[in-house]
Amino acid sequence: MKLYSYFRSSASYRVRIALALKGLPYEYAAVHLLKGGGQQLASVYRELNPDGLVPTLEDGSQILTQSLAIIEYLDEICPDPPLLPSAPADRAYVRSVALQVACEIHPVNNLRVIQYLKKRLNISEEQRSEWYQHWIDVGFSSLESRLSSEHRVGDFVFGSTPTIADLCLVPQVWNARRFEIPLNRYPTISRLAANAMALDGFAQAEPSKQPDTAS
């Protein structure tokens, strides 16, 4: 397998965790999101991924895009350890937590949205920070409220092993810390992220440990 990834991309980070937890070896193809106007927008990469987004996973002749679709694929072709529970209602629960991060928090703070705000709407650096913090706070507040009263929460979002929900939560927490957003109002989220980050698979996938780190 070959993963097109950018060390700081949280969608890439999610897939790196899945590959690491399942012990699947892969070639790392770095796609720099800022250099040369963004390598993800170059025509050679867009032939693979017309969205011009990372990650992309090549598995033989298969070209896979969208991190959550890639993770579900990896879970289907390599079920051990499972990244989803077995009962439909529990699967819906962990998927919904993953989607709360992937649909409600992450897209609004994505690089291209921030660039539009700066270049087309001329917002100030202060307004940009407020925007970023606002959507993290909106998303984390409702997620904290949900997880703090959810009986299925254990050491991880679902019980005692990580699922697709933890794979989305950890990169979002990592991003929030990078932008120095205080997380003390989110004790459940912080605890769950710390538990996950202590696992080898999560640690290996960390942005600071990739071939293209700080390149």
Contact residues: a copy of itself, CB under 8 A: 46, 50-53, 59, 62, 64-66, 68-70, 72-73, 76-77, 88-89, 91-93, 95-96, 98-100, 102-104, 106-108, 112-113, 116-117, 120-121, 123, 127, 130-131, 134, 138, 142-143, 145-146
CA–CA gap between residue 114 and residue 111 (Å, rounded): 5
> CB of residue 103 vs a copy of itself: minimum separation in angstroms?
5
> CB of residue 40 vs a copy of itself: minimum separation in angstroms?
11
Can you tell me which residue has the tokens 């399942």?
22
Closer by beta carbon to a copy of itself, 72 or else 212: 72
Could you tell me if residue 16 is left (phi over 0), alpha (psi between -120 and 50 degrees) or otherwise beta? alpha
Closer by beta carbon to a copy of itself, 192 or else 199: 192
Query: What is the signed CA dihedral for 187, 201, 18, 43, rounded to 10 degrees?
Result: 100
> CB of residue 145 vs a copy of itself: minimum separation in angstroms?
4
Beta bridge partners, 62, equal 59
207 Cβ neighbours under 8 A, 6+ residues apart? 7, 8, 13, 174, 213
Closer by beta carbon to a copy of itself, 104 or else 212: 104
> CB of residue 214 vs a copy of itself: minimum separation in angstroms?
27
